[in-house]
Amino acid sequence: MPAVERAPVRTLRSASDAFLDGIANANTARAYRTALDALLAEFGADSSLDVLEGEQAADRVASWFADRWGSASANTVNARLRALGSARAWWAKQGWLEDDPLRRLTSRSVPPDRTRALSRAVVQELLGREGVALRERVLWRLLYESAARASEVLALDVEDLDLANRRARVRRKGGAVDTITWQTPTARLLPRLLGGRARGPVFVTDRRAKGQALGQVPGQDLSPEGRGRLSYRRAEELFVVASGGSTLHQLRHSALTHAAEDGAQVPILMAYSGHTSVSSVAKYARISAERLGAWQAERDPAARRGAR
């Protein structure tokens, strides 16, 4: 009687690697790996995926998750839960996992943050600050002038640029190809940054990419000189330090808020931001505290009497 072939045992490590290999966006894969690495550390990387099956597993996952991220912000909790949930859904689709070990967990509500837009004065100080490296000067200006996402701008290749018309092709969230535009300051700085390069990433690392000689860095992420594409993590680190805690996303938020204050209508804001729904762009169109204060000052009866 022929031996019955048994399905290979899926370990947490192999299942996680298989899931992450299918994620094209490097930033998403990096964020998801953070949650999955923590799961592997708790349950054992070489443990069978079956360790996540059953009621006791659901209890253990809930307890571990609460201990690990219970005191974190709602955004962090939801991001980790999304990562684990995406992996679980993919494993279930492969037929590797029947149970839902996350069923005891729920996402947290995120209170609206209405202070994310930086004032115009703060933005101009950052963009005009002396001693900032050319790469960061170009990146920050381009993010503010284009209102594009940092991930979209960092993914730009030289071939995507139309320098003469001050525009570039980007791939928006969701995969749609779109156009971003910029103004004179960025137009003046970009050729200096490129230094005559005709291909490769627009924003590159200071040094040659590690692992290049071993073929560990995709060719599309290398400049002709062998420098790698600047990562979101590194770009964010540099901006957080320089700005005293602000994020690259706040440049985008600020650009859209300031455009709304200057009278840009919703269709323009949607084209500017790349959003496809009015509700998505509405949160950026709120008037800033700075502009609200100026409006109140203009209406102040005492100020008007003093001007007579």
Q: Per the structure block, which two tokens stand in for 107? A: 């996402």
Check: CATH 1.20.950.20 for 120-294? no
Domain boundaries, the chain: 12-94, 120-294
Give the ranges where the chain is alpha helix by DSSP (H). Answer: 12-21, 26-43, 55-69, 74-94, 120-127, 134-146, 150-154, 184-194, 232-243, 248-261, 266-273, 278-282, 289-299, 301-306
CA distance 156 to 139: 11
**Best CA proximity match to 275, nearest among 146, 132, 173, 136:** 173
- Chain mean position to CA 293: 31
Q: Is the pTM of this model over 0.85?
A: no
pLDDT in tens, the chain (308 residues): 344 343 456 899 999 999 999 887 666 788 899 999 999 999 999 999 999 999 999 999 999 999 999 998 887 898 899 999 999 999 999 999 999 999 999 998 866 555 588 999 999 999 999 889 999 999 999 999 999 999 999 999 999 999 999 999 998 887 889 999 999 999 999 999 999 998 889 998 887 766 555 455 566 667 667 778 888 889 998 998 898 888 999 999 999 999 998 888 889 999 999 888 888 888 777 777 777 787 788 877 876 566 55
The secondary structure of residue 139, as a DSSP letter, is H
Phi, psi of 151, rounded to the nearest 5 degrees: -65, -35
